[in-house]
Amino acid sequence: MKIGAVEVGDFPVMLAPMEDISDPPFRRICKKLGADVVFTEFIASEGLIRDAQKSRKKLEFSEEERPLGIQIFGNKVEAMVMAARLAEEMNPDFIDLNFGCPVRKIVNKGGGAALLQDIPLLLEITEAVVKSVKKPVTVKTRLGWDEKSKLIVQLAEQLQDIGISALTIHGRTRAQLYAGKADWTLIAEVKNNPRMYIPIIGNGDVIDGPSAAEKRAQTGVDGIMIGRAATGNPWIFREVKHFLKTGEQMQGPDLSERIDVCRSHLLTSVEWKGEMVGLLETRRHYASYFKGIPDFKQYRLKLVTAPTIEEILSIFEEIRTKCVNI
Q: Where are the domains of the chain?
A: 2-246, 255-322
Whether domain 2-246 has CATH 3.40.50.1360: the reply is no
- pLDDT confidence of residue 20: 87
Q: What is the pLDDT of residues 9-33, one digit of tens each?
A: 999 999 999 998 999 999 999 999 9
Q: What pLDDT, on the 0 to 100 scale, is given for residue 284?
A: 86
Would you list the DSSP string of 182-243? ---HHHHHHHT-TT--S-EEEESS--SHHHHHHHHHHH--SEEEE-GGGTT-TTHHHHHHHH
- pLDDT-derived band at 294, boundaries 50, 70, 90: confident
pLDDT at 293 over 90: no
Average pLDDT of 301-305? Answer: 92
| Cβ atoms of 197 and 160 closer than 8 Å | yes
pTM metric for this prediction: 0.94
* Model confidence band, residue 116 (pLDDT cutoffs 50, 70, 90): very high
pLDDT, the chain, mean: 94
| Count of other CB atoms within 10 angstroms of residue 229 | 16
% of the chain exceeding 70 in pLDDT: 99
What is the rounded average pLDDT of the residues 82-107? 96
For residue 67, count CB atoms less than 10 angstroms from its CB and return exposed for 0-12, middle for 13-18, buried for 19 or more.
buried
pLDDT for 238: 97
Span 71-87, average pLDDT? 97
> Catalytic one among 30, 101, 262, 323?
101
Best CA proximity match to 97, nearest among 78, 118, 69, 116 = 69
Mean predicted confidence (pLDDT) in 144-160: 96
pLDDT value at position 324? 55
Q: Which of 33, 36, 1 is nearest to 15 (CA)?
A: 36
**101 catalytic, yes or no?**
yes
Sign of the dihedral defined by the CA atoms of residues 156, 94, 109, 25, in that order: positive
Does the structure show a pLDDT above 70 at 326? no
d(CA 171, CA 16): 14
- Going by C-beta distance under 8 Å and a sequence separation of 6 or more, which residues neighbour residue 112? 42, 73, 98, 99, 100, 101, 102, 103, 106
The whole-angstrom separation of Cα 313 and Cα 319 is 10
Q: How far apart are CA 128 and CA 131, in angstroms?
A: 5
> What is the CATH number that goes with domain 255-322?
1.10.1200.80
Provide the pLDDT for residue 52.
87
Mean pLDDT of the 135-159 span = 97
pLDDT of residue 247: 96
Percent of the chain topping pLDDT 90: 88
